Amino acid sequence: MELRSLGRSGLRVSPLGIGTMAWGRDVKWEEARALVVDFVEAGGNLIDTAPAYGGGVAEKMIGKLFAGGLPREDLVVATKGGFVIRDGKRVMDTSRGAMLADLEQSLRRMNTDHVDLWQVHAWGEAPIEETLSAIDSAVSRGLVRYAGVSNFVGWQLATAATWQKALGNRTPLASVQVEYSLLARRAEVEVIGGAEHHGMGLLAWSALGRGALTGKYRTGIPRDSRAAADHFSWFLEPYLQPRSRAVVDAVAKAAEGLGLTPAQVALLWVRDAPQVASALIGPRNRTQLAELLETDTKRLVAPIVSALDDVSGGPNGHRS
């Protein structure tokens, strides 16, 4: 894969990134290790995780990879702070103390002395200047190389980015991570424009519409799918409604005409969209990953992109 710059920063990331939200529950250790090995061999380097994923299990699995001999320099490790699982409960705390405590625990779990990209998991109740001061502290101590935000809407992104630019000794924000797919295009309203203005790269999570754009749910819910699992059905439910059917059908029709799979078409649309630095994928096995890696040398032609834009919400005003 040809690496891309993350916004205007010096960090280079692969156009596909591995997301680890399902690690530890749906993706067990042996499968996760095989996925990362295949991904790195294909030229990928970005792996995205968070303390909340599996209550820290996903980060521990990354640490096990490094302890098992995977060179640390092979991966750009992106994790988050401000949202954790404590005593089985979800806790959002973006205060300086909580953020730095999250980071220390993440480093310990991942068996590393630094995080390549540390992201504020979501906008919290603490003053944003306090939250961002944790980033500056972590960078100055060498614990973090680059910083970003996650799940921020347009005004939140602009507020954070502007604050960090106000003084020269603050860490500029390199990225914003947000859900973005043919079934979730809200980022085009303000987030993508804000990211472009502030020189931030976009990390698109759930690039396959939480799995709905693979087409596997067109005729029902397979028993072995995430939508059939009690712990994940809520995640798929919003995209299994009738209003999503036209988009899924259009993706499937385009795939048939192009000799691709629906998942590949949906991924290509996101990967090459304006301002996207990397499209995050969450394969559960090597077969799914191999299908997505096959997109490396493929591109969608402009008429197909335009048709998919139209059926999923209208023209993308950020396209040149």
Alpha-carbon span 105 to 111, nearest angstrom: 10
Position 241 scores a pLDDT of: 86
Burial of 313 (0-12, 13-18, 19+ CB in 10 A): middle
pLDDT tier at 2 (50, 70, 90 boundaries)?
very high
User: Residue 169: helix, strand or coil by DSSP?
Assistant: coil
Tell me the DSSP string of 276-297. EEEEEE--SSHHHHHHHHGGGG
pLDDT at 226 over 80: no
pLDDT at 305 over 90: yes
Which of 174, 191, 193, 188 is closest to 277 using CA atoms? 174
Alpha-carbon span 293 to 314, nearest angstrom: 28
pLDDT in tens, 22-32: 999 899 999 99
Position 117 scores a pLDDT of: 98
Burial of 195 (0-12, 13-18, 19+ CB in 10 A): buried
The count of other CB atoms within 10 Å of the CB of residue 277 is 28
Position 91 scores a pLDDT of: 83
Alpha-carbon span 148 to 135, nearest angstrom: 9
CA angle at 318 for the pair 214 and 77, rounded to the nearest 5°: 60
CA distances to 13, 25, 164 from 196, in Å: 17, 36, 16
| Predicted structure pTM score | 0.95
Catalytic residue among 53, 146, 180, 217, which? 53
For 138, which DSSP code? H
Alpha-carbon span 269 to 281, nearest angstrom: 13
pLDDT at 255 over 90: yes
Alpha-carbon span 77 to 95, nearest angstrom: 23
CA angle at 167 for the pair 162 and 172, rounded to the nearest 5°: 55
pLDDT in tens, 172-200: 999 999 999 999 999 999 999 999 999 99
Spell out the residues 6+ positions from residue 163 whose beta carbon is closer than 8 angstroms to its own.
128, 129, 132, 170
Continuous segment of H or E residues that includes residue 94 = none
204 forms beta bridges with 178, 279
Which range (81-90, 189-198, 272-281, 305-314) has the least confidence? 81-90
Residue type, 88: G
Based on the residue annotation, tell me whether 180 is a catalytic residue of this protein: no
Q: What are the φ and ψ backbone dihedral angles of 265, each rounded to 5 degrees?
A: -65, -45
pLDDT in tens, 116-139: 999 999 999 999 999 999 999 999
Tell me the DSSP string of 183-195. TB-GGGTTHHHHH
User: Residue 27: helix, strand or coil by DSSP?
Assistant: strand
pLDDT tier at 243 (50, 70, 90 boundaries)?
confident
Alpha-carbon span 254 to 235, nearest angstrom: 26
Q: Is 314 left (phi over 0), alpha (psi -120 to 50) or beta?
A: left
Average pLDDT over residues 219-230: 78
CATH class of the structural domain 4-211+271-298:
alpha beta
pLDDT tier at 235 (50, 70, 90 boundaries)?
confident
- Token pair, residue 14, equals 């692969």
Tell me the DSSP string of 151-168. S--HHHHHHHHHHHHHST
- Token pair, residue 194, equals 């804000």
pLDDT at 87 over 90: no
The count of other CB atoms within 10 Å of the CB of residue 97 is 11
91 forms beta bridges with 84
